Structure 1
């Protein structure tokens, strides 16, 4: 690929917000690398209630020339299948987004639904080339709904290409649309930031990093922790992230007197993620469904073994050399997986080298080659 910079209009709701600077930390690494290689402008739909509440911060955003935040008008909690139509409406009445789309030659929609579908509808009029980047739950969750699965098919059929983060996700996209031009491009990791630790704590430290939602297996993980406490295991579990279940999780920890063994950190910045990972003995991720979570890549880059469910693209990255795969996300299997991991003699350098080809430069190089046919 030559050094010529191409123009890309990147449409995504997964983007840091002035009042949520830690949002989309993983995805933002790709965006930064992509911006180094190409001329990238961003269209970022923001739920309308949050947009109006924080409009002053949005107007004061220093990068407004390249990042256009606009309100996404929809009805919270209902008519979810119609969100792509609401998004198209929001784009048109916000004026600036539709002008940018009319001028664009190449659009990359990073999230399949409703972002990718809205861009697919507008492609009919705006005539740009459209590539849709699927990350996991945007396909795995919405494809289970008959109506939304048909809408996903329409968006993939209309696109010029679909990018997935794992072969498992590619297989799912190809089941939805036989016309789709699909390519798997694995996410990367910053090896300069996520490095091997100097030493670990003597106390056995485990860590969960992700959204505090049911499908991440947070309740099963909590039950596994209760079993380990009752059996006399000495450990400390750090839970990093935020989400709708966080208050329930905190209440369960308090009511079961688990404060000595569990800490809820909430949302932390990327530097804190590095520090926490380097001090832990294993990352635990008992998700119901996944693409390939960036946090797995980052843990492995730190030489930290992973205990994760055998779902989505996780088995494409986690193997006997760098972690333990569990077949079910129930608490008994989680406990067995953790115990197996802690009793195994791991080589941190071997774990790190198991993903040495997964860099953000490699990711963006493949992405650019796919989009611009080089």
Structure 2
């Protein structure tokens, strides 16, 4: 009886996040008779790992300390010799260097995905990091960017050849994230933490520097100043946890906004909470194709976001939302104010966003892309 091929997913940490959500969705939804899965975390994993529904999926934490950690390469080589995976799927810069250990260990297929960049290098210009990626091209069978912006960067900056550069769009489950704004605005599900007639600006994501939540709070302050007649209705909800959460809580408190800004930390009911938002906001300084934007659009929310990374490929300015060229609190506030002033525009752009996700960013299309990639690479190489 033929053994089902094993895919090892190598990531920095299995925790709440867009990349991690996609990883879990792929593991849960990929046919069990096609591929088995294991997740190797360079550092650790959290309760988020329980979202993996298959109890047979092995999750391994290497507890890597900060720094080079040369011993981690040896540990991964030994692990791969024991697991004998058919496919190694690495994610982002922190994991790509271990494709060399996988090659030496005899892993036949090596796939590397680029989901976005760090705040320390939002434009992908760090020459040391780029040199590392370039040197590892011979050991990677396929690079998978999740946006055309990242695909072009891999081509022009990293010099990944076209035959090794495959765009697979992120996808979202439109059955889980349901359109809420097909009904009049005053009938939208009220948020339990705000009065029912409020205009709620929602944001969901890990509270870290690349997401620039401090800038979003500044924009909210500007919005309140721009629209004094609407000030009593304006609310901001930022859902998520992360290293900068204490800092933004201090910012909110010092601005006297504790009664109008909700910072609950991580939540398991994001799909339901999104239905309490009026609009969705993302103030990031770097992104790939954010899954949370797709989820917001599937919910029927217009998206106000910075024009970075793959966001402009998803959010069409003045059709499904509004884009701000470079983050500016006043410009961002003015973009938000258009929806406060015109509820009909909010509903129109939200409906267009839902339609765009349904037609081009489905979870089924994403799964088809990854399964097809594994199939083709495994067929062309000795895998077991």
For the pair 1:151 / 2:122, whether they are aligned, the reply is no
Q: Is the 8 A contact 2:99 2:139 kept in 1?
A: no
Q: Is the 8 A contact 1:166 1:184 kept in 2?
A: yes
Q: Is the 8 A contact 1:213 1:244 kept in 2?
A: yes
Please give the residue correspondences for 1:66-85 in structure 2 after superposition, counting only pairs within 5 Å.
66-74=57-65, 76=66, 79=67, 82=68, 85=70
In structure 1, the residue matched to 2:40 is 44
In structure 2, the residue matched to 1:107 is 88
Using the size of structure 1 for normalisation, the TM-score is 0.83
In structure 2, the residue matched to 1:290 is 287
For the pair 1:322 / 2:313, whether they are aligned, the reply is no
1:177 equivalent among 155, 159, 165:
159
Using the size of structure 2 for normalisation, the TM-score is 0.81
Give CA-to-partner distance per residue, 1:306-360, whole Å, 9 cap, x none.
0001111111110132111111112112111211243441324332111113211
Distance 1:261 1:208, change over 3 A: same
* Higher deviation after alignment, 323-332 or 337-346: 337-346
In structure 1, the residue matched to 2:309 is 312
2:300 equivalent among 300, 303, 311:
303
Give CA-to-partner distance per residue, 1:120-147, whole Å, 9 cap, x none.
3421441411111111126965943222
In structure 2, the residue matched to 1:356 is 358
In structure 2, the residue matched to 1:334 is 332
**Structure 2, unaligned runs of 5 or more:** 191-196, 380-384
Q: Is the 8 A contact 2:201 2:237 kept in 1?
A: yes
CA–CA distance in structure 2, aligned partners of residues 372 and 225 of structure 1: 48
Give CA-to-partner distance per residue, 1:275-312, whole Å, 9 cap, x none.
11111111100110100100110011010000001111
Distance 1:209 1:235, change over 3 A: same
> Any idea what SS the aligned residue of 1:72 has?
coil
Q: Is the 8 A contact 1:133 1:163 kept in 2?
A: yes
Q: Is the 8 A contact 1:16 1:25 kept in 2?
A: no
CA–CA distance in structure 2, aligned partners of residues 27 and 203 of structure 1: 35
In structure 2, the residue matched to 1:29 is 25
Higher relative contact order (CA 8 A, sep 6+): 2
Distance 1:153 1:370, change over 3 A: same
CA–CA distance in structure 1, aligned partners of residues 368 and 101 of structure 2: 28
CA–CA distance in structure 1, aligned partners of residues 214 and 148 of structure 2: 28
- How many angstroms does 1:26 deviate by? 4.3
- How many angstroms does 1:104 deviate by? 2.2
CA–CA distance in structure 2, aligned partners of residues 98 and 138 of structure 1: 31
**Structure 1, unaligned runs of 5 or more:** none
CA–CA distance in structure 2, aligned partners of residues 186 and 369 of structure 1: 14
CA–CA distance in structure 2, aligned partners of residues 235 and 294 of structure 1: 26
> Any idea what SS the aligned residue of 2:11 has?
coil
For the pair 1:242 / 2:241, whether they are aligned, the reply is yes
Distance 1:157 1:46, change over 3 A: closer
Please give the residue correspondences for 1:85-234 in structure 2 after superposition, counting only pairs within 5 Å.
85-92=70-77, 95-100=78-83, 103-109=84-90, 111-137=91-117, 141=122, 143-174=124-155, 175-179=157-161, 181-197=164-180, 199-200=187-188, 201=190, 202-231=197-226, 232=228, 233=231, 234=233
Matched length: 347
Aligned residues: CA RMSD = 3.0
For the pair 1:7 / 2:2, whether they are aligned, the reply is no
Q: Is the 8 A contact 1:9 1:107 kept in 2?
A: yes
